Structure formats: structure tokens, C-alpha cells
Amino acid sequence: MKLFIDSADPQEIAELAETGLVDGVTTNPSLAAKTGLDIFAALKTICDAVPGPISAEVLATDAAGMIAEGERYAKIARNITIKVPLTWDGLKACHALRDMGLMVNVTLCFSPVQAMMAAKAGASFISPFIGRLDDIGEDGMGLIADIRQIYDNYDFRTEILAASIRSVSHVREAALAGADVATLPPVIFRQLLSHPLTDKGLAAFLSDAKKAGLKIRDT
């Protein structure tokens, strides 16, 4: 499963990208507002740091406006992905932008049928919001599994991008359910390797090596 970072902070993304484990980035207006940076300058820096898809979200709500904004975003870098909402106008824009050869991420998906419609419109990615569904007592991970089944039934090429990830368990469950991508807040990304037994085991190994006087020297 690919791992994207859900952030608009260029410095933080660049630091995480140094791990070699970051496959892409998703941004949105809320994340961009928190940085206080010019969104176009920030996106250019992010695109330079991460060669994978970088989602840039439109602000327009009509198809023509979304297409125009998408074209402007696309001038930033070749790996820009235009992010549009799952509305009728959003899907019209998706279809048009895909015809231009641009990647499109259809966001704010909350049902399997919505995901099917986005795939029919040619979406490169569909973004189901797991955490927001869980918040209202619905089964966010069940949505991922349902979309996976529908896409496999009809050989849709749209990638399932699990969004609104709230925990490491969400990442595990999304991978088991067949999501192609999970987009994670930096704090969750950093927690993926954490386990108390790993820390305990490493401490024991280092302690035993010190007691035995073991050293690694150049030959």
C-alpha cells in the first residue's frame, strides 16, 4: 500500500520524504491555511521534494471554475493531482481534466455508489473519509471494503485512497481491506514503526553488546 502525507507544510514533508517511504502528498485548503504560506510556492516546494502525486484542491464549486483552477495548478509541476469534490460539477470537471491528461483525486466520498460514479468519470484516485464516517457511527472501513469489491468487479483502475486516517490501526485495517493508498497526518506516519517491544529489544541488544565489549571496527 502506498503511503501519502496529509499536510501542506513543505519543511515537514521534506523531512519525512528523506525516509524514502513517502509515495505522495495530499493537501487541502484547511491544511494550507495553517501554514500561512503562499499555496503555489508551497506546492512547488512539495513537488520538488516528493516525486509522487501531490494533490492540490480546487476552491471553485462550478465545473468551469474547477477546470480553470485545475489547469492553473497543473502548471506547477508534472506530478500535481487536481483534487475535486464528489459533486456533479466535480465529476464533470474530473472527466474534462482527465481528458487533458491530468491526474484527478475525487474527494469527500462517503458511499460505495459515489465511488463507482467517480471511477466512471475517470478519477485517478477516490478518497473515502474513514474517520468522519466512524465519527457518526458508520463503518468507515466497511466502505473501503465495499469500494474494493465494486472496483474489482468491474476492473475500474481508480486507486482507493483511504483518507481521514485517525490511528495506526486505521492504516492496518485499510491495508487489509485492500486500499491502494493511505494518506496520513505526519503524527500518524511517525507512529507506524513504534512498538514497545522493538524499543525493549534494541535496548537489550545494545546492553549485551556493551557488556561483552563488542565493537565494529574498520578492517
Exactly one of 83, 92, 200, 215 is catalytic; name it.
83
C-alpha span between 89 and 85 (Å, rounded): 8
Q: Which residues contact 130 (CB under 8 A, 6 or more apart)?
A: 140, 141, 143, 144, 162, 163, 164, 165, 166, 170, 174
Query: How far does Cα 6 stand from its chain's mean position?
Result: 6
Rg of the chain over all Cα atoms, to the nearest angstrom: 20
Grid coordinates belonging to 143 = 466502505
Q: Which residue has the cell 503562499?
A: 38
Residue 130 near residue 170, CB atoms below 8 Å = yes
Question: Which residues are bridge partners to 106 per DSSP?
Answer: 84, 126
Contacts 24+ apart (CB under 8 A), 69-78: 70/97, 70/102, 70/104, 71/97, 71/100, 73/43, 74/100, 74/102, 76/40, 76/43, 76/44, 76/47, 77/43, 77/44, 77/47, 77/48
Is 83 tagged catalytic? yes
> Collapsing DSSP states into helix, strand and coil, what is residue 106?
strand
> Residues with catalytic annotation?
83
